[in-house]
Each structure stands twice: as C-alpha cells, then as structure tokens.
Structure 1
C-alpha cells in the first residue's frame, strides 16, 4: 500500500480525521526535532518546543491554506518557537504565551476549540490525563488564564510546578498522538519500529566489536558524516571515531529513534567511565 503524502494527510486532518493528523505529525516528527536540535542543541528545551509545536499545529490546522506545504509549515512552527526561546534567554521551555492566544479580532480559544475538527479527540486525550496535569493543560491552551503566573495562582502551586506539569502533559499528549497513528496508519508505526531496531543493532554492534560491518551494511557508501555541525568525512571515518570512543571505556545507550519519509534521527547517549567524563550525548544519524 502506498503511504499517504503530507498533502493527503493534512487535507484529511482538516476534514476531521484525527488519525491523519497523528500520522502527519509522526511523518514529520524527525524533521521537526532535527530543526529544534540544530537551533538549541541536545537539550530538554528542544523536545519541549517540538511538543509545543504539535499543540500549536493542532490549534491552527484550519489556517493551513496549502496542504502540500504541511511539512514546511510544521518546521516553521518549531523554528519560530526556537527563536522565541533564544530571544527570551530565560528558562521557559515552551513558546511565548502570545503564540497560544488569539490576536485581536480573532476567535477566542473556546470558539477555536469548538470549531476544531478534532475537538472530540482532543477532549478525550486531555480528559485521560491525571487531574493536576489536566488542570494546567486546560488553563494553558484553552482559556484566557494561560500565563504561568495566572495558572500558578489558580492552582495554588509554584510556577516551576506549573512548568513541570505542562511538560508532563505535552509528553502524554505526544504519546496519545503516537497511539492514534499506530491504530490508524500502521505503516507509520512499522517505520518507527524499524528505525528503532536499526538503531539498536548499531548500538549492539558497537558494544560487541562488529561496528565496521554494520556501518558497511546499513549505510550508503557515499553518506557524509558531520560532527558539531561541521564535515567530518565519509562513512569510513565513522567507525574509527566510534571505535576510539568505545575503546576509551565509553558505553552506549539508545534513548530514542525517529523516522519520517526522508529523514532518520537517532539519539544515543554516551555513558562515560567515572574517571573520564568527557564524552557528550549524542551521536546523530540523519539521512
């Protein structure tokens, strides 16, 4: 079966197919994360801005005029979130409140929610959250009382607790998206499983001394390697680099692997020996 392209998924999502929206996000999630990591580095904020972008995309889906530009639109939301975070230079790991509130003359959040084609699914997803998390999610995204200070006052908790609960809520919402995508678009779920298995195979090969063979079998011979954003040679240079790291006593652990139609992102943690804590997370692969 031919996999739906972004335009088909976006059009279906605008027509009320929540599974299509979930599949659209899963198809583009790796590219969205790549944008966040490129702008912010491997930090928690990178994941936060991506998850926040998913909620913004869900809210603004009716405004997407060109379904064929859905992928670029999603990446632009992530890019804007990152710019806001960098410009603010403060420890707020999500987009500015103004992004989540209507501009003057626009519909209020309650009306936007009522008109959203996925409103029933959104309500079900939010209703499934634990009460403390559900409370801050509803206040943040669906009411006029959306600032951290206002939510903290209403819930009688510190602002850092509000941020923590919102982070948990966004991650739970992301898991719900993945579950919906798995139920309605099995091909996307199969791709996600395949890339995780592939990443795990590389980790195991590195730990058991067969790294060169795995790289030869699984990577295109013309693949290019970058390190800290700079060219580091071809795929033949990767094995010696990884081998040197492993010989220094560093171990590997797979944290995450995401795939879309034309990009794969692996997040692998380097577990340093106690006497040599110089390595940093994480080796990445994109194609």
Structure 2
C-alpha cells in the first residue's frame, strides 16, 4: 500500500500524498515527541517535515520504505532543532491551518492542486521570509547553515524567519483554499528552461548577453555572504572558471513570487578535478522580471 501511494505521489498525485501522510502522521509525531519531549515543538517539526517531504518526493528512491523516509525527515529536523536550541523556543505551535479550523497538515494536503496552492502561498510571503521558505522547502540548500550563508544572515535569523513563514503560510492557505492558482508545474518547467538556456549561453561564450538580458545594470551580488562590487565581478569570475575547462550542469531550478533559485553542478576537467567545488546556488531576487540582487553560495566537497 505504501509503495503504491508513494509512487503515485511521486508522479504528482496530491491525494495519494495526503493519504500517505495520514497513514504515517502518528508515527512522525511519535518520533518528534520522543526526541524533543515538547508537544508544541514536536508539532512544529512534523509540520516542517510534511512540507520538506512534499518538496523532496523525487528523492524517495525506495517507495516501500516511505514510512521510514518520512520519519527520517522528522528525525533530521529534530536533530537540527536540538543543535540550535536556545532558551527561547525556536517556534511556536503553528500548523499549516490554525487549530481552530480543526485541520492538520494531512487534511490541508488532501486538497486539489496542493502544490499550486502551496507555491501560491509561499509567493505571498514577505521577501525575507519567502527567501528562506523557498530554500527550505524547494531546494537542496535547505539546512539552516546553508540558508544562512546564502541569505547572509545568522542561523537564528533563519529559524525566526521560518517560524514567521509557517505562521503566515497558515493564514494564506486558509484564506486561499477555494481559489484557483497558477500551474506550479508549468512555472517550474519554464524556470528550468530559462536557467538551462542561460547556462548554455554562458558555456558558448555569450555570458555578457545573458547578464545584460537578465540582470539590472546596478544589480547587487553577494558571494558566500560577502558583498562584492556588483555585476562587474561576475563575468570575469565565470569566464575564468569556464576558461579552465570547467563545465556546468543545472541540477534544480525553483521559483516563487519574485525569488528564483538555480542549483548548478560544476563538472571539473579530468586534469584538474578539484578546480571548483561540487556545486553552487544562485538565489535571484527579481524586479520587473530581471535580477536586482544575486546571492551565490558554494557547496564544499565532503570531508574524507
């Protein structure tokens, strides 16, 4: 049963995903309560895990182990919370829908066009909160440390913005439950095509045109949390990388509102396999369809 539901959910069946969550929600909560010992924090971690699972369905390699996979997401969230816990609780109890509505995350997800609904809700968040929500729920740069580096803020700010985002998501989801939303699948496909076209243009020596077309002339650039001189540093940096024989491959692209994320893998030449780190992320903030702020972060090679 789990395997059939997981395969259907992975193919885009939101109803199957909702049933899968419903079947394992008690076990997910049990893991959270056992590790945290606080019911409020446990509910918050489970809610977060539901959204992470929705974004990460393509990574579920063994549909037979869907329940264990869901519990492992909860377990990882709990460990991150325990490592970062402060005197003030990281988050207040806030399910996707307020408790007064009598709905939990599984019930929320058991709606038509769930992904479109969630994408619409994230797009409605205030910009700083939307940035961390997009990274947390729609990218592989989803740990607190990675989000903090890419957004150039402390980790405790990431946690507080995610807390604020969960509260706001609850309100937006409640208010827009009956509204038809844009097709998030079509938006994701368009975003990926745009990213792939930009990368291919760069690989063929047309990076300056891409920069001119996609970026405002006064766009700001931040690398690894540090401000740079703006777009003037980007072209020579990429020219140097590509001139060394490094190629690029788009791994993932996501968009929500005025935020666009590209995750790009470096393919180093055989004679210099350590020239670049394994991957990088470009987080674009758009104004009138063009990037006015670009934040770049690199994924380091794993330690031996």
TM bucket (normalised to shorter chain) is 0.3 to 0.5
Higher helix share: 1
Query: If the length of structure 2 is used for normalisation, what is the TM-score?
Result: 0.39
Compute the TM-score of the two structures, normalised by the length of structure 1.
0.41
**Greater relative contact order (CA < 8 Å, ≥ 6 in sequence):** 1
